[in-house]
Amino acid sequence: MGDVHTYRVRRWAVLTVFAVLAVVLILRAYDLQLVDKEFLQDHGNARFLRVVEVPAHRGVIMDRNHEPLAISTPVSSVWAVPRKLNQARHRWSALAKLLEMKPAQIEKLVEHRLNREFIYLRRHVEPGLAEKIMALKIPGVALERESRRYYPAAEVTSHVVGFTNVDDVGQEGLELSFNDLLRGTPGAKRVIKDGYGRIVENVESISAPNSGKDLVLSIDRRIQYLAYRELKSAVQKHKARGGSIVILEARTGEILAMVNQPSYNPNNRSGLKSDFYRNRAVTDSFEPGSTMKPFTVAAGLENGAYKPTTKIDTRPGYFKIGRHTVRDARDYGLIDVATVIRKSSNVGASKIALSLDPEEMWGLYRKLGFGQVPGAGFPGEVAGRLNDHREWGEIEQATMSFGYGLSTTSLQLAHAYQVLATDGLQLPLRIQHSSEVPRGKRIISAEHARQIRSMLASVVEEGTGKLAQTPGYSVAGKTGTVHKSATGGYAEDRYLALFAGIAPTTSPQLVVVVMIDEPSTDEYYGGQVAAPIFSRVMSDALRLLNVLPDQAEQHLTAVQQSPTVPGVE
Amino acid sequence: MRMTIMTLLLMVFVSALLVVDSRHQSRKIFVELQVLEKKRDAMHEEWGRLQLEQGTWATPSRIEEMASNKLEMISPQANTIKLVRY
């Protein structure tokens, strides 16, 4: 029986041990399942659950006819987890070959970033190559979908539209100034990823992506193109340093075209100097020269002291203000105000200016937009220079009347001429297309604006701007040949050739400013260099816009027809 | 008392099952949404590509070149234009 007793003790001992073990297990299970649950679950999830970004589309930039000017296309970027890639060294040569890199370059990329989770191997690869890379199935290498901006009109619209960087952030032009509108907000979602970093399952959406808004510009791609073509060929022909053309729609103040030389291709910017990126039409100011005279005359007419027929004595072709002499090309004699414009007389303009109060003249110039940032929506718009009238002396007032001593950009000059085109009403400059026409602000009286337009028409008919004549249409415009300022004075042999004009004179549709910087062949007058460009751009643009020729009787053969003509609306 | 507890337990059990089911449904719908979004994105991409393609074919310089070289068209001189008024 002693045996039985011994066994009983042993049995209890064993059972107790088991019981204790069981309790320990239960306690451990309780611990894991209930006490440490959150911590453990988090860590478990962290092994395979990931929050990834859902990319949002960047808005399209279109011209007024909804032709795309900037559009995003999807591309893939190859990225890797350095630690995993490091363990797959034997596959590097194959990978490097596809990426067009040397294995040593991969080594360099990976080496210093071993504790990082993410490195880009190459960004923006084409879809075919991306597929080949993924087919290698190298651990830690994965693709990310990104988008790349493409600009179909390339260098024709590059200064206006600008471009984005590799991260889809606007860098220049409207891509920069409208970045917040164009940019979408990316969403986020939770996914399950496998060991290769590939998405196995989408679990839930955290936030939905918001696509960027589209931007419809006032630019007309066709007119932009023809302006670009004419500007480029003229700059080449005259071996000029650069140039700009700005075209405004007179009725609405919308910018129809804005081109510059030199330009660049935004789709391939490697090896370009930032000098090329400048949108000269808004960032570069120059002295407007004779193109300023219509506004001097406007100040005279507004004052009431002058009428288009008022006689001004410009004899003997020059006159002295202190130590300075204002000169005309020759002695025009006793001429009326209209002839001052037609002949572009500096003496005449100066005499009108000097009879006016500086504040009055300054006020009109300022209202016309000189010396003020135009605010059309481009980055880097400059105000130009217009000194305060209290700083004007007689000589300043005289030289300003023919466009020296103040400066303007091509866009500002076009804006000022737009006032003449709309019978004295100023419309805000706009780059975004809108069907609403804003209310104009009266700057000069309608009668005076029309009188100045007819003076400007005579410039083109029989004055310095004959080469600006456009078959079928009446044109009003003014030439300008400006000595460029150099250190300590004005350069004798460096010029700016200008032409600013409006057509048709009777019911203005377009305002065009042509600026050619330093034409270096024999021709350098605004009337020789800029006026012919104006004529070609204007005639093509008016035809494109279906503007009825108003001078058909003179230049075209008009035919009277019965009211119903098939095919003609 | 006992009945109440039993009912409550049953309800807890059923609601637990419903949670599982709705979770499953939501995942299924989310996956479906993903498929549709992918489809939408693909279409969006194609639309972009087509716009680009059309833009490329319709480049003014290309039209101009085709018109003058291939179709032998010319811009009429001013004196050959007849304006029809009606």
Quote ipTM for the complex. 0.73
Question: Residue B86 and residue A556: Cβ atoms within 8 Å?
Answer: no
Cβ(A212)–Cβ(A473) under 8 Å?
no
Calculate mean pLDDT across residues A6-30. Answer: 92
Question: Residue A203 and residue B30: Cβ atoms within 8 Å?
Answer: yes
Say whether pLDDT at A97 is over 70: yes
CB contacts, 8 Å: A565 with chain B? 84, 86
Which of the four pLDDT bands, split at 50, 70 and 90, describes residue A117?
confident
Mean pLDDT of all residues belonging to chain B: 86
Write the Ramachandran bin of A431: left for phi over 0, alpha for psi from -120 to 50, otherwise beta.
alpha
Give the bridge partners for A150, in sequence order.
Answer: A71
Question: Residue A555 and residue B78: Cβ atoms within 8 Å?
Answer: yes
Residue in chain A nearest B77 by alpha carbon: A471
Which of the four pLDDT bands, split at 50, 70 and 90, describes residue A246?
very high
Contacts of A182 (CB under 8 A, 6+ apart): A58, A59, A61, A170, A175, A212, A213, A215
What pLDDT was estimated at residue A335?
92
Say whether pLDDT at A464 is over 70: yes
What pLDDT was estimated at residue A566?
40
* Closest chain B C-alpha to A73 CA, distance in angstroms: 6
Regarding pTM above 0.90, the answer is: no
- Pick the most confident of A2-6, A86-90, A493-497: A493-497
Mean pLDDT of all residues belonging to chain A: 86
Question: Residue A68 and residue B55: Cβ atoms within 8 Å?
Answer: yes
| Phi and psi, residue A231, nearest 5° | -65, -45
- How do residues A554-569 score in pLDDT, each as one tens digit? 544 444 444 443 433 3
Nearest alpha-carbon partner for A339 in A349, A329, A353: A349
Calculate mean pLDDT across residues A448-469. Answer: 91
Comparing A401 with B34, the larger pLDDT belongs to: A401
Say whether pLDDT at B26 is over 90: no
What pLDDT was estimated at residue A496?
92
Question: Residue A73 and residue B58: Cβ atoms within 8 Å?
Answer: no
- How do residues A143-171 score in pLDDT, each as one tens digit? 887 888 889 888 899 999 999 988 888 89
Comparing A499 with A437, the larger pLDDT belongs to: A499
CB contacts, 8 Å: B30 with chain A? 202-205
Residue A524 DSSP one-character state: -
Question: Residue B83 and residue A549: Cβ atoms within 8 Å?
Answer: yes
What are the strands, taking DSSP E only, across A67-110?
A: 68-80
- Any B CB within 8 A of A525 CB: no
* Closest chain A C-alpha to B23 CA, distance in angstroms: 10
Question: Residue B85 and residue A559: Cβ atoms within 8 Å?
Answer: yes
Any catalytic annotation for residue A539?
no
Comparing A101 with B70, the larger pLDDT belongs to: B70
Contacts of A319 (CB under 8 A, 6+ apart): A325, A326, A347, A350, A351
| Phi and psi, residue A484, nearest 5° | -75, 140
Which of A72, A556, A564 lies closest to B83 in CB terms? Answer: A556
State how far the Cα of A84 lies from the Cα of A137, in Å rounded to an integer. Answer: 12
Best of A49, A71, A157 to substitute, by most chain B Cβ atoms within 10 angstroms, is A71
Which of B30, B45, B79 lies closest to A202 in CB terms? Answer: B30
What are the strands, taking DSSP E only, across A194-317?
A: 199-207, 215-216, 242-249, 255-261, 311-313
R_g (Cα) of chain A, nearest Å:
36
Please give the single-letter amino acid code of residue A185: T
Q: Catalytic residue, from A72, A177, A218, A290: name it.
A: A290
What pLDDT was estimated at residue A463?
85
Question: Residue A202 and residue B26: Cβ atoms within 8 Å?
Answer: no
Say whether pLDDT at A24 is over 50: yes
R_g (Cα) of chain B, nearest Å:
34
pLDDT > 70: percent of chain A: 95
pLDDT > 90: percent of chain A: 47
Using a 10 angstrom Cβ sphere, with 0-12 exposed, 13-18 middle and 19 or more buried, the burial of residue A568 is: exposed
Q: Which of A116-130, A238-252, B30-44 has the lowest mean pLDDT?
A: A116-130
* Closest chain B C-alpha to A565 CA, distance in angstroms: 8
Q: Which of A114-118, A562-566, B10-14 has the lowest mean pLDDT?
A: A562-566
- Any B CB within 8 A of A274 CB: no
Which of the four pLDDT bands, split at 50, 70 and 90, describes residue B14?
very high
* Closest chain B C-alpha to A88 CA, distance in angstroms: 32
Write the Ramachandran bin of A518: left for phi over 0, alpha for psi from -120 to 50, otherwise beta.
left
Calculate mean pLDDT across residues A351-372. Answer: 93
* Closest chain B C-alpha to A152 CA, distance in angstroms: 6
- Pick the most confident of A74-78, A206-210, A386-390: A386-390
Residue in the structure block whose two tokens are 């890199």: A101
Q: Which of A113-122, A300-309, A440-449, B7-16 has the lowest mean pLDDT?
A: A113-122
Give the number of other CB atoms < 10 A from CB of residue B59. 16
Say whether pLDDT at A14 is over 90: yes
Residue in chain A nearest B56 by alpha carbon: A152
Calculate mean pLDDT across residues A303-328. Answer: 88
Which of the four pLDDT bands, split at 50, 70 and 90, describes residue A197?
low
Comparing A552 with B4, the larger pLDDT belongs to: B4
State how far the Cα of A365 lies from the Cα of A443, in Å rounded to an integer. Answer: 10
Which of B55, B59, B84 lies closest to A568 in CB terms? Answer: B84
What pLDDT was estimated at residue B86?
65
Say whether pLDDT at A553 is over 60: no
HSE-CB at A43 with a 13 A cutoff on CA atoms is 5
Angle between helix A92-99 and helix A127-135 axes, rounded to 10 deg: 180
Question: Residue A203 and residue B34: Cβ atoms within 8 Å?
Answer: no
Calculate mean pLDDT across residues B45-67. Answer: 85
Residue A211 DSSP one-character state: P
- How do residues A27-38 score in pLDDT, each as one tens digit? 999 988 888 888
Which residue numbers of B have CB closer than 8 Å to A's CBs? 26-27, 30-31, 33-34, 41, 44-45, 48-49, 51-52, 55-56, 58-61, 78-79, 81-86
Contacts of A471 (CB under 8 A, 6+ apart): A539, A555, A556, B78
pLDDT > 70: percent of chain B: 97
